[in-house]
Structure 1
Amino acid sequence: MTTPTARRIARVQRETSESSIDLSVDLDGTGTSDIETGVPFYDHLLTAFAKHSLTDLTVRATGDVHIDVHHTVEDVGIVLGQAIRESLGDKRGISRYGDALVPLDDALTQAVVDISGRPYLVHTGEPEGFEFHLIGGHFTGSMVRHVFEAIAYNAALTVHVNVLAGRDPHHIAESEFKAFARAFRQAKAFDPQVSGVPSTKGAL
């Protein structure tokens, strides 16, 4: 059995001509968050991720949102993925896999996470036209997939997100983030029956 000896925390800063990001995570937190990205609906989604994954998350981001929210949203996803990967460390004693099915009124999403060390995303089921909808008047539905791509590839996670039902774009996006959060919560959790790294290869 692996006994955790230190909190799994990370802070990542990233500066480009398009955005400036300072982000910190604590995987062993309680779900508290303090998030300012300049994109209100994204703040809402990240707050839901923190709450339901029991990950403490602080984000300070500025970017060229006067042009489009795309750069800031994607770049925060990149940095969040990098922070998750760093904070996971050698992954000793974790459950590794997580699976969640989350409803939000009309919407229903299933997410499966494998802390595999192999970045891969399968993202299906969003209704036709969702990608063009401006949620809250500023957040394009297509950005949901971009965020999951950024997190999965930079955290080295295998992620499957499947929207099973949904009519309201706000509900669909939020159910996706909550389902991902719940699955990640299971995957990152320590399993008292796991000894060492949960892989036949001995590394993840």
Structure 2
Amino acid sequence: MGHRADRPLPIDRIDGLPVVEAVEAWCGLATFLVLDDLIAAGDRLIGLPIPIATLGEIDRAIQERSGMRGVVRLREARAEMRPNAYSSRETWARLVLVRAGLPEPEANGRILLRSGRWTKGDLVFRPWMVLLEYEGEQHLTDPAQWATDLTRYNDLTEAGWLVIRVSKRMRPHELVARTRRALRFRGLA
């Protein structure tokens, strides 16, 4: 799909090839993507493993588009963007949970284990020690990853964390119901 700009676009170079700057590309997607996909793309800009842009850069880009087509959707997406997401599936799960009225989880929060070692959790409900872990298929097909995951889950359980494992096949209503039950079990009113 081609795209025409009504003004000169800021260009970066990657391996010598000219590319539109990341924030500019994200803004250009506002008229093509549904809101949740735009949020996930925005989360990637400010996410892990290395942020590509700052919230300040994103806010300036939105401000510069005041009155232009797509700016309302950019503002809506910006309001729901959060730093530290590692994947679009994490963003999707967070949005489903928050829109269902559950507390907002911390994305990729650091957790101290009893061994003194640190780990990260995909979506962390720290006050209740509930953790959602999104499992991609590589977790099943890579024996080394699977072994690491098992040790990590055992360490988290030993430290008192309740871990909910999520896959792309889990339906939104099941994700919400499981998370709500776990949070209530841990004291959420």
Shorter chain as denominator, the TM-score bin is under 0.3
TM-score, normalised with respect to structure 2 = 0.25
TM-score, normalised with respect to structure 1 = 0.24
Quick check: which one's strand share is greater? Answer: 1
Quick check: which one's helix share is greater? Answer: 2
User: Which has the bigger relative contact order, CA under 8 A and spacing at least 6?
Assistant: 1
